Amino acid sequence: MRLGLVLSSLFERHEMPPGHPERSERTRAVANRLIESGLADKSIPIESQQVTREQMLRIHSERHLAMLESIHRAGGGQIDPDTHMGKHSWPIAMLAAGSAVAAAECVAEGQVDRAFLVVRPPGHHATPDRAMGFCLLNSVSIAARHLLATGRARRVLIVDFDVHHGNGTQQAFWEDPSVVYISTHQWPLFPGTGRREETGQGQGQGTIFNLPHPPNTVPSAIVEEMRATLERVQETLPPDFVFISAGFDGHRADPLADWRLDVGDFVAMTRDTLALANSTAGGRVVSLLEGGYDLDVLADCTEAHVRELMRD
C-alpha cells in the first residue's frame, strides 16, 4: 500500500503562548516517532504547498480571511481565549490546508493509495466565518470541497474521531448532500455542538451522523457505534473518497477530555473506516492530524494509525 506522507518541520513555526496544549512539540513528537519506527522511510513524501484563495473561499468567507490577514499583518494576536496566532501562523495554516489539497489530489489521481498529514494548526473547529478551538482554517473541509469542485469525487465521507465535535466541518456541509460527516465525540464538552438530532438540513438532511457519548463511556460502546454507523453509510450513502479527522485526544491519558480509549480502540476505528473505503471508494483515504495533547500517547496512536493506513 503506497502511503503518501506530509511531514515537515515548518508546521512547528505556528507558535502558541507558553503552556498552550496545541504546541509545536506535537508535530515534532509524531515526526520523530514516524522516522524512528521506519514508517517515514516506507512512505512517499508529499510536498507541502500553500492553499489558494479560491480553494479557501469554497469553505470560508472573505470576512474570515480578511480577519486572519489583519491579525497576521499585526504580527499575530489572540482571537479568543483558546485560539492564538503567532507571527508565522497564517502562512503555516495556509500550508496545512494546501497540503491537504495536495494530498487529496495525489490520492485521487493514483499517485499514492492513501495519505497521512502531520500538520498543525488543526482545523475541524474553524467555521466558514470563525476561527476557534485552536483552529484557523478547516483543512479537511477545504480539501473535500476541492475534490468535489474539480470533479475528482462525487460523494465524500469525513470520519472524525477527535474527542471534540468538529462543529466547523458540520457547519460547512450542513446542507450539502455530497458530503457525509460522521463524528464521535464526548458530550458535554467543547464546543457544545454535535447532538444526535443535528443531522443536516435541506438537501443535506440525513448526511450528518453525530455519535455523542458522555465522559467515561466504555470504549467498546464508542467503537461499536462507529462501526455500525460506517456500515449504515456504506449501504445507504456510499462515498467514493474518504477523509479522516484523526484526533487522538479521546485517549485515557489525554489532559483535555474524559474518555478512556486506548491505542487499540483507535486502530479499530481506523480499520473499520478503511474497510468502508475499500468497499466503495477504491481504498482512497486521506487522514489529517487533529487533536491529541499527551505527546507520548500522540506518538503511540499516530504510529498505530499510520501502520493501519499502510496495510493492504
The phi, psi pair for 94, rounded to 5°, reads -65, -35
208-213 and 156-160 beta bridge pairing: unpaired
How far apart, in whole angstroms, are the C-alpha atoms of residue 226 and residue 40? Answer: 29
Which residues, including other chains, have CB under 8 Å from residue 152's CB and lie 6 or more apart? Answer: 104, 105, 108, 109, 146, 241
d(CA 226, CA 22): 26
- Closest Cα partner for 276 from 210, 211, 182, 184? 182
Grid coordinates given for 291: 487533536
* Nearest to 114, CA basis, from 273, 290, 294, 301: 273
Catalytic residue among 60, 64, 124, 125: 125
Angle of helix 263-280 relative to helix 219-236, nearest 10 degrees, comes to 10
The SS3 assignment for 36 reads helix
Residue 64: active-site member: no
Question: CB-hemisphere CA count at 13 Å for 269?
Answer: 31
Rounded Cα gap, residues 285 and 287, in angstroms: 6
Which positions are annotated as active-site residues? Answer: 125
